[in-house]
Amino acid sequence: MYRTLAIATAALGAAACTTVTSTALASEPAAPVATETSAAAITYTLPDLPYAYDALVGSIDAQTMEIHHSKHHAGYVNNLNAALADDAALASQPLEDLLANVSTHSTAIRNNGGGHYNHTLFWTLMAPAGEGGAPSTELLADIDATFGSLDAFKTEFNKAATSQFGSGWAWLVVTDDGLKITSTPNQDNPLMDVAAVQGEPLLAVDVWEHAYYLSYQNRRADYLKTWWNVVNWNEVNSLYEAAKS
């Protein structure tokens, strides 16, 4: 059973979701504390990071994290709300549903819905170095069986991330045929019906230049090398368990 990111929260009021920790993930589609502008319209808000902007220093500098979260991610949220403002029917659909049928929606919904989903997930997939745990026994066995070893998996994943032309993402997903590594352009993701490889995301890395340029400039491979130090395997394990149950 897939889990659903709790990505729809109140636009107003103290009850707005303030963190994107594992507790922000629900076993069922979230019951959003939504500000209703029509029958069941959903208003999206920017979730707080589950750690400080400088928590990932050594892999990602604080200024990059602050700009990435408070400017880039916030922009996707604002633009998604604007894209849905005049369509009550679409605005009432869970984001995962919009993404699953994204080929029938506007480019604005595709780019900004994807952007909000991807970044909300991405923040939870990182943790301060030393706090992210390790792959579970079950996940590690699956990785070993699929890719040969954890190191071989990382090499393959980094290859997908470095070879993604321009802006985009690299992913580890669960599919009907097992674990797969894939990449997507722009803010596309494997939940979208337009994705070449569709599946449930377990791990994702943002390879837009805004994710690494201040510290690494054009050296995407160097960013990816240190990024593994802040992967939150505890969250990846939880996503794997949910996807396999």
Q: How far is the CB of 153 from Fe ion (least distance, A)?
A: 23
Evaluate the CA torsion angle 166, 168, 174, 179 in order and state its sign.
positive
Distances 95 to 61, 103, 163, 176 between C-alpha atoms, Å: 30, 14, 28, 22
Q: Which is nearer to Fe ion, 147 or 169 (CB)?
A: 169
Pick the stretch among 45-53, 156-164, 203-211, 235-243 that binds Fe ion (CB under 5 A).
Answer: 203-211
Q: How far is the CB of 43 from Fe ion (least distance, A)?
A: 22
User: Is 142 a residue that touches Fe ion (CB under 5 A)?
Assistant: no
Burial class (CB in 10 A: 0-12, 13-18, 19+), 73: buried
User: Is 208 a residue that touches Fe ion (CB under 5 A)?
Assistant: yes
Q: How far is the CB of 46 from Fe ion (least distance, A)?
A: 13
Residues belonging to the binding site are 68, 119, 206, 210
Q: How far is the CB of 119 from Fe ion (least distance, A)?
A: 6
Q: Which is nearer to Fe ion, 206 or 235 (CB)?
A: 206
Q: How far is the CB of 245 from Fe ion (least distance, A)?
A: 30
Closest C-alpha to 76, from 218, 219, 210 = 210
Q: Which is nearer to Fe ion, 118 or 182 (CB)?
A: 118
Q: Which is nearer to Fe ion, 153 or 208 (CB)?
A: 208
Written as one letter, the residue type at 34 is: A
Q: Which is nearer to Fe ion, 200 or 206 (CB)?
A: 206
Q: Kindly report the number of other CB atoms within 10 A of residue 126's CB atom.
A: 24
Q: Take residue 95 and report the two structure tokens written for it.
A: 């984001």
User: Is 206 a residue that touches Fe ion (CB under 5 A)?
Assistant: yes
Residue nearest to Fe ion (CB): 206
Residues belonging to the binding site for Mn(2+) are 68, 119, 206, 210
Distance CA 41, CA 193 (A): 23
Cβ atoms 60, 227 nearer than 8 A:
yes
Pick the stretch among 15-23, 95-103, 170-178, 200-208 that binds Fe ion (CB under 5 A).
Answer: 200-208
Q: Take residue 218 and report the two structure tokens written for it.
A: 């054009």
Element (H, E) at 221: helix 220-227
User: Is 171 a residue that touches Fe ion (CB under 5 A)?
Assistant: no
Binding site for Fe ion (CB under 5 A): 206, 208
